[in-house]
Structure 1
Amino acid sequence: MSHGTRLRAALAVAALLAASGLVAGCGAAVSGDGCAPPRQGSASAGRPTRFAINHDAFQARHIGHTADGRQFFLTTPFDTGTEEGGGRLFVALYLFDAAGRFLDARIDDFGDDAGRAAERERAYDKKLKGLGKVTFDRIEVEPFGVERFGMTFGLIVSEPESDDDIWWVTAEPGDYMAFSAPWDCGEYDT
């Protein structure tokens, strides 16, 4: 499935996520200093081993560093399911060491029950408070993937599907954040 197809599917559930109260904004490019993409074929356009995520008021509002130097990303992945249903919402806390190496994924599954929004918010708040004193700021981490609940979670590398395509790192499931080179830019598309 192409990035564009996944992005359209992700936008289809934006209303569901917004209703959960866990998403501040969706459907737009989130930009900082206007990083220019590298030229096709340049070394910085290749497969990323590490990439940056800038702190912002949207999907990256709860990223940063713990008092002991670890990096974290607290987020709300989702699975759109099918037209017949089966979509699911999650709360995920991803932890990295100070150098950005993946350490752990703590993920809760809340199904598709809209009545569990308060429970999801409590779980989200509990994960955030469980980190102790934190600083919300830019992180630089490696892509990773873990299998949970029958699907892949994480910051997943997608290789180009054609000569005209580029490398991506997407927040999965849900493809709700998409990063491209330059990998030190920290900007993403939603």
Structure 2
Amino acid sequence: MSSGPPRRLAIEHDDHHAEHVGHTADGRQFFLTRPFEPGTHDGNDGQEFVALFLFDADGRFLEARIDAFGPRDTMDRAAARAAFDGRLRDLGDVTFARIEVEPFAVERFGTTFGLVPRAPEDDDDRWWVTIEPGDYMAFTEPWDSGYYDT
């Protein structure tokens, strides 16, 4: 049984989904990622995004800078890459490293983005925090481990 949602959770820098997490020269923490809405069987082609999530030095959420690029099959990949590279460049000097941040959710483009807490569905389940949209990273206790499921 879980003790509840976290006040903060760690994200350990790695070579996969957490490749672009770290700290800016002015002390902020950041997470630059590529969330997505998966397509569905009813003809919805989904949507691809570039998202930069910024936190203060204590891990409090500050802002989300999100760009939408449409469905994966028709998106302008060069524009998406340029947006990603631009978001990283705009941060200035960064250090890629573990971050410890609070869960959050924001609405953009009719979609929920963030590190979103998910309550247990039954007594044997536990709390999770998932990166949304796309649910491609899922964190659970211990919240300070920094590791995630995909």
TM-score by length of 1: 0.76
How far has the Cα of 1:47 moved from its partner? 1.4
2:50 aligned residue (67, 91, 97): 91
Alignment partner of 1:151 is 2:97: no
Residues 22 and 98 of structure 2 are in contact (CA less than 8 Å); yes or no, is this contact kept in structure 1?
yes
1:74 aligned residue (22, 32, 38): 32
How far has the Cα of 1:115 moved from its partner? 4.6
SS in 1 for 2:89: helix
Alignment partner of 1:105 is 2:64: yes
More helix per residue:
1
Matches of 1:68 and 1:181 in 2, distance apart? 30
Instruction: Name structure 2 gaps, 5 residues minimum.
Output: none
Percent identity between the aligned chains? 64
Runs of 4+ in 1 over 2 A off after TM superposition: none
How far has the Cα of 1:143 moved from its partner? 0.1
Alignment partner of 1:59 is 2:59: no
TM-score by length of 2: 0.95
Q: How many residues align?
A: 148
Residues 36 and 134 of structure 2 are in contact (CA less than 8 Å); yes or no, is this contact kept in structure 1?
yes
Residues 69 and 75 of structure 2 are in contact (CA less than 8 Å); yes or no, is this contact kept in structure 1?
no
Q: CA separation of 1:115/1:183 partners in 2, compared to 1, >3 Å: closer, same or farther?
A: closer
CA-based RMSD of the aligned residues comes to 1.0
1:29 corresponds in structure 2 to: none
How far has the Cα of 1:114 moved from its partner? 3.5
